[in-house]
């Protein structure tokens, strides 16, 4: 029986096997892993892209206790994906990371907490590792694994691989865990809805009278404002689809994006339901799940749509489209339009998706 064939409970430490026998045996098959921490301290869309990798880890290590170390908001991510994640640790941030203000005074206590958990493996799933490998190295795990920046020396060719400069984000992450010995269980995203999501949406009253399939969602916001398509362009698409398909238009967004949804509504000829509010991500996803189509910027909701299998048109203006576009490019159509001039192309894709639906 090779290392790859062994059940998780039969895996043994590296020192217990002759080194010649280990050649070609991936890391996850070389050691017994009871406690694993995954470090990925990023926002919604980036976290959703990690779901295929987390799914593969769980399938390969069904008895391991998997902890996610991430930004404070990701406690809800860990809860939603409880089939893949057993525990959550709040990362207080780092000066080199822009995702949140760093609470540097809390870093040492965070590292002490990580070391006290006595992880067998700490997996850096955050990126190229230029800063994140040093962070994960402070966790005190028996073994550390992840990616290194292109051109960096690979001190350990079993635990580290060079970070790919091309490719879709879910596949980059999935390729890493496969390199380490995990078995992929599909590259698709998923976004499970909960009873709590449905209750929150119902209690909000925002979906009242909206029958499944009777409306489209327009999401004009994004965490980075300067990559948003102009509100007037969203309004043009919304009006055209409302006229041609007789659908209602629902404008979605967080409470901070209410100015953008209001601007879209102001530019529209047809009435629109503005739902920008303090709804949770899950409740907003429940609202979107019953729509016929989503039109949005390149932002987290595009990955939610991929997880919901909701057809979408996604407008890119700054980010790497090859990296961040949904994998299913039949159901999710992406256009590059930094100048806000390609309404006709967006409508062409939207009409096609509406007719297919």
The predicted-structure confidence for 116-150, as pLDDT tens digits, reads as follows 999 999 999 999 998 999 999 999 999 999 999 88
Q: Specify if 28 maps to a domain.
A: yes
How high is the pLDDT of residue 120? 98
How does residue 21 score in pLDDT terms, banded at 50, 70 and 90? Answer: low
Extended beta strands in 17-129, E state? 35-39, 65-70, 87-90, 121-124
Are 171 and 261 within one domain?
Answer: no
Measured distance CA(333)–CA(226) in Å, rounded: 21
Measured distance CA(222)–CA(211) in Å, rounded: 27
Are 166 and 226 within one domain?
Answer: no
Are 47 and 166 within one domain?
Answer: yes
Q: Specify if 190 maps to a domain.
A: no
Q: Specify if 224 maps to a domain.
A: yes
pTM (2 decimals)?
Answer: 0.91
How does residue 19 score in pLDDT terms, banded at 50, 70 and 90? Answer: low
How high is the pLDDT of residue 98? 85
Are 280 and 137 within one domain?
Answer: no
How does residue 20 score in pLDDT terms, banded at 50, 70 and 90? Answer: low
Are 228 and 149 within one domain?
Answer: no
How high is the pLDDT of residue 18? 54
Residue 193 and residue 286 in contact, taking contact as beta carbons nearer than 8 Å: yes
E strand or H helix at 107: helix 107-116
The answer, yes or no, to whether residue 293 has pLDDT greater than 70, is: yes
The predicted-structure confidence for 82-110, as pLDDT tens digits, reads as follows 999 999 999 999 988 988 888 989 999 99
Whole-number Cα distances in Å, 272 to 165, 265, 310, 346: 42, 6, 20, 19
**Which whole number is the average pLDDT over 10-27?**
60
DSSP code string of 292-342 = S-EEEESSHHHHHHHHHT--EEEEESSS-HHHHS-S-TTTEEEEE-TTS--
Quote the distance between the C-alpha of residue 97 and its chain's center.
17
How high is the pLDDT of residue 165? 86
Whole-number Cα distances in Å, 165 to 180, 182, 183: 19, 22, 23
Q: Specify if 217 maps to a domain.
A: yes
Measured distance CA(228)–CA(29) in Å, rounded: 45
Are 14 and 90 within one domain?
Answer: yes
**Which whole number is the average pLDDT over 157-178?**
95
Q: Which range, of 123-132, 237-246, 284-293, averages the lowest pLDDT?
A: 123-132
Are 260 and 344 within one domain?
Answer: yes
Last residue of a domain, one of 179, 206, 232: 179
How high is the pLDDT of residue 341? 96
**Which whole number is the average pLDDT over 228-244?**
98
Q: Number of structural domains, the chain? A: 2
Q: Which range, of 8-17, 21-30, 321-330, 346-355, averages the lowest pLDDT?
A: 8-17
How high is the pLDDT of residue 102? 84
Q: Which of 114 and 149 is assigned the larger pLDDT?
A: 114
Q: Specify if 188 maps to a domain.
A: no
CATH number of the domain bearing residue 38? 3.40.50.2000
Q: Specify if 225 maps to a domain.
A: yes
pLDDT averaged over every residue in the chain: 92
In this structure, what token pair is assigned to residue 258? Answer: 């209410």
Q: Which range, of 99-103, 220-224, 329-333, averages the lowest pLDDT?
A: 99-103
Can you tell me whether residue 356 is helix, strand or coil?
Answer: helix
Quote the distance between the C-alpha of residue 302 and its chain's center.
10
Q: Specify if 78 maps to a domain.
A: yes
The answer, yes or no, to whether residue 246 has pLDDT greater than 60, is: yes
Last residue of a domain, one of 115, 145, 179: 179
**Which whole number is the average pLDDT over 54-58?**
98
In this structure, what token pair is assigned to residue 7? Answer: 């059940």
Are 206 and 173 within one domain?
Answer: no
Measured distance CA(178)–CA(163) in Å, rounded: 14
Are 253 and 344 within one domain?
Answer: yes
Measured between its terminal Cα atoms, the distance across the chain in Å is 49
Q: Which of 47 and 16 is assigned the larger pLDDT?
A: 47
Dihedrals phi, psi of 221, to nearest 5 degrees: -95, 175
Last residue of a domain, one of 179, 208, 229: 179
Q: Specify if 170 maps to a domain.
A: yes
In this structure, what token pair is assigned to residue 130? Answer: 């230029």
The answer, yes or no, to whether residue 154 has pLDDT greater than 80, is: no
Closest CA to 143 of 97, 87, 88, 181: 181
Are 129 and 170 within one domain?
Answer: yes
> By residue range, what is the domain housing residue 174?
8-179
Are 206 and 314 within one domain?
Answer: yes
Residue with tokens 């795990």, as numbered in its chain: 141
In this structure, what token pair is assigned to residue 21? Answer: 């026998």
How high is the pLDDT of residue 10? 38
Are 165 and 270 within one domain?
Answer: no
E strand or H helix at 215: strand 215-219
Residue 306 and residue 327 in contact, taking contact as beta carbons nearer than 8 Å: yes
């Amino acid at each position: 029986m090779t290392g790859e064939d062994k059940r998780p409970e039969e895996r043994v430490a590296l020192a217990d096997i002759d080194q010649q026998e280990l050649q070609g045996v991936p890391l996850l098959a070389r050691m017994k892993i009871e406690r694993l921490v995954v470090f990925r301290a990023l926002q919604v869309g980036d976290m959703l892209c990690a779901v295929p990798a987390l799914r593969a880890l769980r399938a390969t290590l069904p008895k391991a206790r998997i902890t996610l170390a991430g930004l404070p908001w990701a406690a809800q991510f860990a809860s939603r994906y409880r089939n893949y994640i057993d525990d959550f640790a709040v990362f207080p941030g780092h000066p080199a990371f822009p995702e949140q203000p760093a609470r540097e005074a809390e870093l040492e206590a965070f590292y002490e907490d990580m070391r006290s958990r006595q992880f067998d493996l700490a997996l850096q799933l955050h990126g190229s590792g230029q800063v994140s490998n040093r962070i994960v190295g402070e966790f005190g795990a028996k073994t550390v694994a992840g990616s290194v920046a292109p051109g960096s020396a690979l001190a350990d060719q079993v635990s580290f691989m060079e970070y790919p400069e091309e490719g879709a984000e879910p596949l980059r992450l999935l390729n890493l865990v496969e390199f380490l010995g995990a078995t992929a269980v599909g590259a698709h995203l998923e976004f499970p809805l909960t009873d709590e999501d449905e209750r929150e949406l119902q209690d909000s009253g925002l979906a009242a009278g909206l029958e499944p399939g009777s409306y489209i969602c327009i999401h004009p916001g994004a965490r980075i404002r300067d990559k948003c398509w102009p509100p007037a362009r969203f309004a043009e698409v919304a009006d055209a689809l409302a006229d041609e398909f007789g659908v209602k238009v629902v404008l979605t967004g967080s409470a901070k994006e209410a100015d953008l949804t209001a601007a879209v509504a102001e530019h529209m000829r047809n009435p629109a339901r503005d739902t920008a509010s303090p709804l949770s991500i899950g409740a907003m996803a429940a609202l979107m799940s019953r729509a016929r189509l989503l039109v949005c910027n390149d932002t987290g909701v595009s990955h939610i749509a991929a997880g919901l299998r909701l057809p979408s048109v996604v407008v890119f203006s700054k980010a790497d489209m090859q990296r961040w576009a949904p994998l299913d490019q039949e159901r999710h159509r992406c256009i590059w339009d930094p100048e806000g001039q390609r309404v006709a192309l967006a409508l062409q894709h939207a009409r096609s998706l509406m007719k297919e639906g």
